[in-house]
Amino acid sequence: MKHLVFLFQLLFLLHSQADDAALIKQLLSENLDNRTFAFADVVLASSGKKVIPLDCKNAAHLHITRAIRIALDQALVTLSHEDSPVRKLRRINEASRYFEDALMLSINQNPGLRCEIPPTKKGDLQRSGYPDLKITDRNTGLIAYLDPKLVESKSLHSTLRTFYYEPKHGTLKINDDAIHLLCGIEHDGKEGQWTFTRSHLVDLSTLRVRLKAEFQASNAELYPKK
């Protein structure tokens, strides 16, 4: 945890003050490519908020997860229809928005829950970035963040990186102590005729993640106008 706090202090605070060479050497010395971090520690270090482990014996936790599972079951059927708007898309990744909207609509039909796009620290409603949805239990105030992810069935157990969390201070969307859930939505991979087969609800409180450190440049920086 101490290393994470130091790392995020570097990323958020030191760049404008530190000597670039010294900062680069410090980052490289952390051997980040070969280390893993508890996602709960990453969230706490970057946002100051705690990740609440899912408790299957807690009534409020069960209320939220049951509503999610019902919404997922409905969305799998609806978005697999021949007339589904998803089948008009060029890329399967573009279907995530349809699942987010379907889940919000279904969960909000439960009078005890509210599902919405989580605002950033600045109060902006931003669809991109983790997490995609925020669910609030109106009776207890319990909050769960939900992140739908599409995954092709044959790639379910691959080592391809598909989960990303980029903690930028201004656009950070984690503003509460909360449960953190990911719903993996399987599809058959048939381009333009996708059928969604099943879903997986994952508690992220035990997830371990890696930090990929890389130096980047945009096309505008590579090819400046003359």
pLDDT in tens, 158-217: 777 778 888 887 789 999 999 999 999 998 888 878 889 999 999 999 999 988 777 788
Residue 159 lies in a domain: yes
pLDDT number for residue 155: 81
* Within a domain: 14: yes
Average pLDDT over residues 1-23: 59
190 and 129 assigned to the same domain: yes
69 in Cβ contact with 25 (< 8 Å): no
Domain count, the chain: 2
What CA–CA distance (Å, rounded) separates 135 from 116? 7
- Is position 223 within any domain? no
Look at residue 113 and give its three-state secondary structure.
Answer: strand
- Are 53 and 80 contained in the same domain? yes
Distance CA 76, CA 91 (A): 17
Of 225 and 2, the structure prediction assigns the larger pLDDT to 225
Question: Do residue 157 and residue 137 come from a single domain?
Answer: yes
Residue 176: the pLDDT is 95
Backbone angles phi, psi at 138, to 5 degrees: -65, -30
Does residue 9 carry a pLDDT above 90?
no
Q: How far is CA 169 from CA 58, 122, 184, 210, in A?
A: 32, 9, 27, 19
Amino acid at 47: S
Are 28 and 51 within one domain?
no
Please determine, for residue 49, whether its predicted confidence score (pLDDT) is greater than 60: yes
Q: 123 and 12, same structural domain?
A: no
Residue 16 located in a structural domain: yes
Range of the domain at 135: 37-211
User: Hey, CA dihedral for 70, 74, 76, 79, is it positive or negative?
Assistant: negative
Q: In terms of domains, do 23 and 81 share one?
A: no
For residues 29 and 79, membership in a common domain is answered with no
Q: What one-character DSSP code corresponds to residue 206?
A: G
Residues 92-111: pLDDT tens digits?
888 889 999 999 999 999 98
Across residues 67-90, what is the average pLDDT? Answer: 90
Higher pLDDT, 182 or 156: 182
For residue 192, is it left (φ>0), alpha (ψ between -120 and 50) or beta?
left
What are the tokens at 200?
Answer: 């997986």
Same domain, 20 and 63: no
Residue 7 within a domain:
yes
Q: Is residue 154 part of a domain?
A: yes
